[in-house]
Structure 1
Amino acid sequence: MKEIQVLNRAAYDYLVETNLKSWSRAFFQEGKMCDTVENGLSESFNNVIRDARKKPIITMLKEIRLYVMGRLYNLKMKGCSWPDYKPFPSITLLLDKLKIVQRNLAESYVVDLDKKTCTCSVWQLNGYGCVNSVATISYRNRDVATYVDPMLYAAFYKNTYKYQIHGMNGSNMWPITEFIPPLPPLKRRMPGRLKVERSRVQRTNKLKIKKRKIIDKGKDGEGSCGPTRVDEGSNGLTTVVERRSGPTPVDNERSGTNRVDEEGVDQKLVVKGKNLRGS
């Protein structure tokens, strides 16, 4: 903490205001057989029930119950073959790692094998030992597993998962009551514009670009071969919107412009005459 205070005073003040027992190992309570504080368990559980939380309450509770039932059963079957009065496999792996760790010879700590304590306080926190205790026990030619706290034995593991959640009948076998059955919530209209569902043909037709042909007002729209719609704009030009299967050779000669849209239909813009309302 003194080093943090020198590097960043604001960070030091923030850490001091926080409960030291929740993040600093130096203030952890001994005898809990846990040297870390994390919320990985709750985050993993929330990730599992993420999809179930979106469903109605009865369906949600049913899926959570089935998940917990399966997990309890799997963990119970996992420890059936373990010896009762020996550390479970994960603790054994940690002890094997401590046996090959090089101890810092520049530091010295007092280890009491009878009280199962070490002045580095790691043994009191985790319950299975530290590098100093393992070195001391190995120097005395004793079994390191015998100095592990009984809370980390397989017998305690089996006792944790001996309980189970019993099955439940389906809703068709529930007793009938005199109460009013719950009704689904009323359908609300969400804010915003309603989404219009269009068929594939409608979406395809919408992508087609209609050909526009500008002609002098009063002429008959030479070269058109389909249904037309005449619109008079504010700029004095009359726009004839029509649809054709393709341009004619005459149109190609007059305009010199030929395009092919996304659907493969030739589109053409023909400009003739002048502004009718212009000077």
Structure 2
Amino acid sequence: MTLFAELGEKSKWSKHAFDPNVCNDSNTSNFVESFNSTLGVNRCRPILTLLEGIRRVCMVRIATRMKNAKSWNDEEITPKIVKLVKEIGKSSSKCRVFKSSPGEYEIHEGRSQFPLSLNKKVCSCGAWQLTGVPCRHAIRACIDAKLDPHDFVSSWYSVKTYKQAYSVCINPIPDTEQWPADESGRIIMPPKMKRGIGRPSRNRKREEGEEQPGKRSKNSEMQQMWLLWA
């Protein structure tokens, strides 16, 4: 309990307390690692060069996604979510559906049962509200009601919203030699930096107990030893 209390508000680390309006149940550091990998050599360069690298990557990515989305239908959801709904639908065959009233169901899965409302787009498992994508219980209810599960996906995943997100481009800019001269006469000096001992590390500092990249944990080594003995 002490450890959980030190983690801060539950809305930052516990899925049951996430804001359903955000439609995102992910809370990992993968984004940071992907961002660092995308920067490449620019991570080791001065701040202005680093920012220029970030600007250029974002400029190209926005233009690329804008181009790819031009052929998509505004009334549909994005292809990635279409694929996700298809994958979730495969596991819905294990669910049994019991209808209560139009749009209201009770879904049984193993020993568990979940009240579900297609009218309110709510399932007691919580996955539908958190992600904005129908869970396997909701898809099973849609099949029973002969409705398209795509119609119950959050508008955040629509092609129209996707195009709106990438509708504003980043304009190209010239190099520093072509920038207008600063007539204020002010000279901003770089901050004083104290270089540490040894070569600066480029890798992210890992948490205690987290596996280091390229290194096998003791558990994996023990598993291999057991396999050899077996």
TM over 0.5: yes
Separation in structure 2 between the aligned mates of residue 152 and residue 184 of structure 1, nearest angstrom: 44
1:56-111 Cα deviation digits (max 9, x unpaired): 33333322221111111112222222211211111111211122212324221111
Name the aligned partner's letter for residue 84 of structure 1.
Answer: D
TM-aligned CA distance change 1:106 to 1:166, over 3 Å = same
Asked if residue 27 in structure 1 is aligned to residue 17 in structure 2, the reply is yes
Q: Which residue of 1 aligns with 2:31?
A: 41
Comparing 168-177 with 93-102, greater Cα deviation is found at 168-177
Separation in structure 1 between the aligned mates of residue 123 and residue 188 of structure 2, nearest angstrom: 61
Comparing 16-25 with 128-137, greater Cα deviation is found at 16-25
Asked if residue 60 in structure 1 is aligned to residue 54 in structure 2, the reply is no
Q: Which residue of 1 aligns with 2:115?
A: 110
Kindly name which structure, 1 or 2, has the bigger radius of gyration based on alpha carbons: 1
Name the aligned partner's letter for residue 106 of structure 1.
Answer: R
Asked if residue 70 in structure 1 is aligned to residue 26 in structure 2, the reply is no
TM-aligned CA distance change 1:143 to 1:174, over 3 Å = same
- C-alpha deviation, 1:143, in angstroms: 0.8
Q: Which residue of 1 aligns with 2:126?
A: 121
| Aligned counterpart in structure 2 of residue 145 of structure 1, from 144, 150, 154 | 150
Separation in structure 2 between the aligned mates of residue 110 and residue 24 of structure 1, nearest angstrom: 22
- C-alpha deviation, 1:117, in angstroms: 0.8
| Aligned counterpart in structure 2 of residue 133 of structure 1, from 129, 134, 138 | 138
1:140-189 Cα deviation digits (max 9, x unpaired): 11111111111111110111111111111223322233426678999x99
**Is residue 36–residue 43 contact of structure 2 (8 Å, CA) maintained in 1?**
no
Name the aligned partner's letter for residue 13 of structure 1.
Answer: T
Separation in structure 1 between the aligned mates of residue 181 and residue 18 of structure 2, nearest angstrom: 53
SS in 2 for 1:145: helix
RMSD of the alignment, in Å? 2.8
Q: Which residue of 1 aligns with 2:4?
A: 15
- C-alpha deviation, 1:115, in angstroms: 0.9
TM-aligned CA distance change 1:71 to 1:135, over 3 Å = same
TM-aligned CA distance change 1:189 to 1:113, over 3 Å = closer
TM-aligned CA distance change 1:168 to 1:117, over 3 Å = same
Q: Which residue of 2 aligns with 1:98?
A: 88
What is the percentage of aligned positions where both structures have the same residue? 26
Name the aligned partner's letter for residue 97 of structure 1.
Answer: E
Separation in structure 2 between the aligned mates of residue 61 and residue 53 of structure 1, nearest angstrom: 9
| Aligned counterpart in structure 2 of residue 173 of structure 1, from 157, 175, 178 | 178
Trace 1:256-275 onto structure 2 (pairs within 5 A).
none
TM-aligned CA distance change 1:29 to 1:60, over 3 Å = closer
Name the aligned partner's letter for residue 18 of structure 2.
Answer: F
Separation in structure 2 between the aligned mates of residue 86 and residue 151 of structure 1, nearest angstrom: 11
Q: Which residue of 1 aligns with 2:73?
A: 83
SS in 2 for 1:109: strand
Trace 1:174-213 onto structure 2 (pairs within 5 A).
174-178=179-183, 179=185
TM-aligned CA distance change 1:55 to 1:35, over 3 Å = closer
Name the aligned partner's letter for residue 39 of structure 2.
Answer: I
1:34-58 Cα deviation digits (max 9, x unpaired): 1221232232112323522322333
Aligned residues: 180
SS in 1 for 2:58: helix
